[in-house]
Amino acid sequence: MILKKVAIMLDLSDMDQILLNYVRRLHENYQFEAVSFVHFMEVEEMPEEILSLFPDLDEPVDEMIAEEIQEQVTETFVEGVNSKIYVHTGGDMQKFLGWLEQSDFDLVVLGKKAALHGSGIFSSKLVRLLDANTLFVTEMARGDIHRVMVPIDFSSYTNKTLKVAREAAEVLQAELLPVHAVKLNLHYYPLFKDKKELEQHFIKSTRKKFDKFKEKLKLKEDCKCVVLEEDAHVSRALYDQATFNSADLVVIGNKGKADSNDLLIGSVAERLISHEKSIPVLIVKSSN
């Protein structure tokens, strides 16, 4: 199993319930070895004027948060899970990232709200700064997963991404749908005059490249090749593909071929998480 140690980021909003339910469904199949319920306190300290409103408050705020989370977890989550609750105090994102990296989670689950604004900054920071696989769960996420779409570009990230996606499909007994999107580029023009011919060429070469992975990773499925017009966006096309094929989960590598080293997350992954409103996206980080 690749995904064994899981951390769920809870922010004490309504989203928590959705997250917990979703991960519980995953856990039924995955049987995670350990699940941590994590809350990051975004402020250094609660201001006095707020605390003074509660004269009856007889315990530190972080302990109270932990209790609150504990209650939610006992309500929603199955028993007998090796679980832990952790509230990070101090408001220092850098230190929190350090803790996360040290804890060595295989998967970090984040909530992604379509409607509520303001709370998205924490998630968007985390996914860009953290060197761990991240799953974005949307409000409308479906718990039953029938189809896992995995966009690939045959870069150095593809192998690990495919492995995670294959595991997900196997564990969840879902169908795996590898997709490769290519753009029709003008620089092919003198070599291929006919657009049809060029499309055929792409489809053929995709199949050839994918066959290597198919053999190595023992996959049954073939890779779907989507050919785009030059001015189309790959992320847009992938989004359309996911909707069109009614995928329930998208697994994507954190970077693609064309992305530079400075970026902690590639442009397609970036667009997918900011546009994808209903389908959860799992970003596979493979810097290690």
Partner 1 sequence: MGKKKYFDIHGPVFWPASVLIVLFIAVTLIVGSPMAKVFSTVQSSITDNFGWLFIVAVNAFIVFCLYVGFGRFGKIRLGGDDAEKEFSTPAWFAMLFSAGMGIGILFWGVAEPVTHYINPPFGQGRTLEAAENAMNLTFLHWGFHAWGIYALVGLALAFFAFNRNQPLTIRSVFLPVLGKRVHGPIGNIIDVFAVIATLFGLATSLGLGVTQVSGGLNHVFGTPNTVWMQVGLIIAITLVATVSVVTGIKKGVRILSEWNVRIAALLFILVLLLGPTLFIFKSFIQNVGNYLNEILMVSSWTEAYRDRGWQGGWTVFYWAWWISWSPFVGMFIARVSKGRTIREFVFGVLLVPSVVMFLWLTAFGGSAVFFDIKGIAPGIGDRIIADESTALFVFFEQFPWSSLLSVIGILLVISFFVTSSDSGSLVIDSITAGGKLDAPVGQRIFWANIEGAVAAVLLLGGGLTALQTAAVSTGLPFLFVLLVMMYSLYRGLSSELTRAEYLSKSQDKKSYEKKIAGMIAKRLTKKEGRK
User: Which residues are at the interface with partner 1 (CB under 8 A)?
Assistant: 11-13, 41-43, 46-47, 50, 53-54, 56-57, 61, 64-65, 67-68, 93-94, 98, 118-119, 121-122, 124-125, 128-129, 260-264, 287-288
**Nearest CB to partner 1, comparing residues 12 and 78:** 12
Shortest CB 118 distance to partner 1, Å:
5
**Nearest CB to partner 1, comparing residues 20 and 237:** 20
**Nearest CB to partner 1, comparing residues 59 and 231:** 59
**Nearest CB to partner 1, comparing residues 19 and 238:** 19
What span, in angstroms and rounded, lies between the C-alpha atoms of 250 and 147? 9
Shortest CB 144 distance to partner 1, Å:
31
**Nearest CB to partner 1, comparing residues 29 and 72:** 72
* Helices vs. strands in the chain: H and E counts, helices first: 9, 10
What span, in angstroms and rounded, lies between the C-alpha atoms of 113 and 119? 8
Those residues whose C-beta lies under 8 Å from the C-beta of residue 178, and which sit 6 or more positions away, are 149, 150, 151, 152, 162, 165, 210, 219, 221, 222, 223, 224
Shortest CB 4 distance to partner 1, Å:
16
**Nearest CB to partner 1, comparing residues 75 and 262:** 262
Shortest CB 1 distance to partner 1, Å:
18
Shortest CB 103 distance to partner 1, Å:
14
Report the relative pairing of strands 281-284 and 134-138 from DSSP bridges: antiparallel
Beta bridge partners of 249: 148
Starting at the edge strand that comes first in sequence, how are the strands of the sheet with 134-138 ordered?
Answer: 83-88, 34-40, 5-9, 107-112, 134-138, 281-284, 249-253, 147-151, 175-183, 224-228
Shortest CB 128 distance to partner 1, Å:
5
